Amino acid sequence: MEKAWWQKSTIYQIYPRSFNDSNGDGIGDLEGIIAKLDYLQLLGIDIIWLSPVYQSPNDDNGYDISNYYDIMSDFGTMDDMERLIEETKKRDIHIMMDLVINHTSDEHHWFKESRKSKDNPYRDYYIWRESENGPPSDITSVFSGSAWEWDGQTDEYYFHLFSKKQPDLNLHNPEVREHLYKMMNFWLSKGVSGFRMDVIDLIGKEVDENVLTDGPKLHDYLQEMNEKVLSRYPTVTVGETPSATTETAQLYTGKGRNELDMVFTFQHMSLDERAGEGKWALKELDFTELKKVLSTWQTSLFQKGWNSLYWNNHDQPRIVSRWGNDQEYRVESAKMLATVLHMMQGTPFIYQGEEIGMTNIDWDDITRYRDIESINYFNEKKTEGVPEQEIMQSIRTKGRDNARTPFQWNDDAHGGFTNGVPWIEVNANYHEINALEAMGNQDSIFYHYQKLIALRKRLDIVVYGEYELLLEDHPEIMAYTRTWEEQTLLVVANFYGGNPDFKLPETVDDARSTLIISNYSDTRERPSEIHTLRPYEAVVYLIEKQPNN
Ligand code: NOJ
């Protein structure tokens, strides 16, 4: 299999608004990121995915861009951005920009023109429809309500799958695509190394046919983008594709397809949702289902594509509160989850704060939340008469602000994130959970992540080995092997707080096994020493094959 530079890499996502505030305005900024690059270098990451830093009125925290060629003033200036690129280069760290091209802000110059008149040259940059009796169709916005907004200036509706301040671009217009490619080339020539592509599975949509994701032109557009932009630089790309299946992922990432390097699947993220009812309709997590989903992706893309590996991002609740135990076994379970993910095949992503085991917030008062998605959902359900407690139960469990509270750097006021008043409150547990504490403790989650990142660099088997799930139906243990050349990697993890029995698979050559990482300091050097697993225990052994003589 072809070896690409980003296959051994680990990517760290920064949500700039919540990372580090250097000027006391309560909002994280580029200067703040620069100040923390040594911290990231110590962790060992290779690439930073920077959530949007472009000019934006912040209706959706930067995912509503009003100028692709300028920096949001809250975050700094283009000079700061250039310095960030320079400073990351000095540390051998690449930057992956967030690319939001499904929509712009309604304050983007193109949209301001577009809405002026039906014959404006920018009219066809967006999706306008006339309709006499209400919206042209029943399509709803991801952020609640109709996806169509009436605009009195020209008496037509425009289409917005997200907020009404995020009108969807019409990528069927070749002029729009050319503008976007020019912009991408601008950033690559500035020295960034690639893009994380926001909801990229939507760009071929055919609204009149009710086709949103996976439109007929989607892959043509990605191939065109690859030809006109991506193939001209040694880039790394990941597409956000909520609709992706293991089949479509092979179209996006397959060798010779010339589209993207990897995509984000959502199947393991929606296991706490009732199918077809959307993200807020909660259901119990099903562990065997999780194993099945992760394993299917591992085996389906083996030598046919490439996986992204993630537990968290700025849209998801914190993993240690979701699949781990964020109280008694916070440290053990955070390390266990990291081990299970990082020993799989693919490129791992770490979301800021994951490496110190940051947890969900547990706020029951909507006024403390800042996210437009949660606030719109609350208002809509309140109007429908749903009891507040029920609405808040969903928001506490799934709301995006769980991931967006400020990074907890130390025990100072506001977790050391700002000297001012933070735009969103810091999680009250920052006294115990913070980076300073983690860095002073050799057994911390931080150093466990550091070891996992280093293992991927040191051992080819972590990058290339073939995956096989063991103990498929076990209700508490996830175990798998990776096999590559003369070696096997055995990963065994207890996902719960009990002490399940563990029987060594007969295929494992105990005498040739070496423990390479564990989340308990009292280690078991050989797998045969394990009879029962400890709460949230995770161990990895490297097994050398018997020589043939
Ligand atoms: C996906 C992004 O990750 C999310 O934060 C954003 O709200 C939507 N796309 C719209 O851009």
> Is it the case that residue 484 has pLDDT exceeding 60?
yes
CA distance 156 to 150: 6
- The CATH number of the domain holding residue 118 is 3.90.400.10
CA–centroid distance, residue 198 to ligand 1 (Å): 6
Single out the catalytic residue among 21, 240, 259, 373: 240
Does 242 share its domain with 320?
yes
Give me the number of domains the chain comprises. 3
Q: Is 415 left (phi over 0), alpha (psi -120 to 50) or beta?
A: left
Does 407 share its domain with 537?
no
- The CATH number of the domain holding residue 45 is 3.20.20.80
Domain boundary among 405, 427, 449: 449
Is the beta carbon of 489 within 6 A of some atom in ligand 1?
Answer: no
Q: Mean pLDDT score of the chain, rounded to an integer?
A: 97
For position 321, what pLDDT does the model report? Answer: 98
The pLDDT of 36-44, averaged and rounded, is: 98
80 among known catalytic residues: no
Is the beta carbon of 168 within 6 A of some atom in ligand 1?
Answer: no
Which phi and psi angles does 203 have, rounded to 5°? -70, -10
Does 37 share its domain with 99?
yes
CA distance 25 to 357: 26
The tokens describing 449, both together, are 């992540």
Is the beta carbon of 100 within 6 A of some atom in ligand 1?
Answer: yes
CA–centroid distance, residue 100 to ligand 1 (Å): 8
Does 274 share its domain with 324?
yes
Residue 169 near residue 205 (C-beta atoms within 8 A): no
Q: 């060798």: which residue's tokens?
A: 255
Q: Is the residue at 454 inside a domain?
A: no
Is the beta carbon of 162 within 6 A of some atom in ligand 1?
Answer: yes
DSSP letter for 426, please: P
Does 215 share its domain with 267?
yes
The pLDDT of 30-56, averaged and rounded, is: 98
- For 323-380, write each residue's pLDDT tens digit: 999 999 999 999 999 999 999 999 999 999 999 999 999 999 999 999 999 999 999 9
Does 339 share its domain with 419?
yes
Is the beta carbon of 198 within 6 A of some atom in ligand 1?
Answer: yes
Single out the catalytic residue among 59, 80, 198, 326: 198
Q: Is the residue at 2 inside a domain?
A: no
- The CATH number of the domain holding residue 539 is 2.60.40.1180
- Domain containing 119 equals 109-159
From 17, 53, 199, 375, give the residue whose CB has the most ligand 1 atoms within 8 Å, as the site to mutate.
Answer: 199
Low-confidence winner among 3-7, 17-21, 424-428, 445-449 (lowest mean pLDDT): 3-7
pLDDT band at 506 (very low <50, low <70, confident <90, very high): confident
Q: Give the residue whose CA is nearest to atom 10 of ligand 1.
A: 63
pLDDT band at 547 (very low <50, low <70, confident <90, very high): confident
The pLDDT of 209-238, averaged and rounded, is: 98
Of the candidates 278, 236, 334, 277, the one whose C-alpha atom is nearest the C-alpha of residue 7 is 236
> Is it the case that residue 481 has pLDDT exceeding 90?
yes
Q: Is the residue at 51 inside a domain?
A: yes
Is the beta carbon of 315 within 6 A of some atom in ligand 1?
Answer: yes
Q: Is the residue at 439 inside a domain?
A: yes
Does 140 share its domain with 238?
no
Sort strands 47-50 and 11-14 into parallel, antiparallel or unpaired. parallel
CA distance 530 to 479: 13
> Is it the case that residue 549 has pLDDT exceeding 90?
no
Does 74 share its domain with 132?
no
Q: Is the residue at 456 inside a domain?
A: no
Which residue type sits at 523?
T
Q: Is the residue at 394 inside a domain?
A: yes
Q: Which atom of ligand 1 is nearest to the CA of 103?
A: 11
Does 292 share its domain with 405?
yes
Q: Is the residue at 506 inside a domain?
A: yes
> Is it the case that residue 242 has pLDDT exceeding 60?
yes
119 among known catalytic residues: no
> Is it the case that residue 255 has pLDDT exceeding 60?
yes
For position 248, what pLDDT does the model report? Answer: 98
Instruction: Compute the 3-state secondary structure of the chain and give helix, strand, coil in percent, each to the nearest 5.
Output: 35, 20, 50
For position 546, what pLDDT does the model report? Answer: 80
For position 548, what pLDDT does the model report? Answer: 66
Does 438 share its domain with 534?
no
Q: Which atom of ligand 1 is nearest to the CA of 162?
A: 10
CA distance 41 to 460: 22
Domain boundary among 414, 449, 484: 449
For position 505, what pLDDT does the model report? Answer: 83
pTM above 0.95, yes or no: yes
Q: Is the residue at 4 inside a domain?
A: no
For position 414, what pLDDT does the model report? Answer: 98
Does 420 share its domain with 470?
no
CA–centroid distance, residue 346 to ligand 1 (Å): 23
Domain boundary among 422, 449, 476: 449
Q: Which residues contact 440 (CB under 8 A, 6 or more apart)?
A: none
CA–centroid distance, residue 15 to ligand 1 (Å): 12
Is the beta carbon of 63 within 6 A of some atom in ligand 1?
Answer: yes
- For 288-326, write each residue's pLDDT tens digit: 999 999 999 999 999 999 999 999 999 999 999 999 999
Does 17 share its domain with 135?
no
> Is it the case that residue 2 has pLDDT exceeding 70?
no
Is the beta carbon of 200 within 6 A of some atom in ligand 1?
Answer: no
Q: Which residues contact 13 (CB under 8 A, 6 or more apart)?
A: 48, 49, 51, 313, 314, 349, 350, 351, 352
From 51, 54, 100, 313, give the residue whose CB has the most ligand 1 atoms within 8 Å, as the site to mutate.
Answer: 100
Q: Give the residue whose CA is nearest to atom 8 of ligand 1.
A: 63
Is the beta carbon of 60 within 6 A of some atom in ligand 1?
Answer: yes
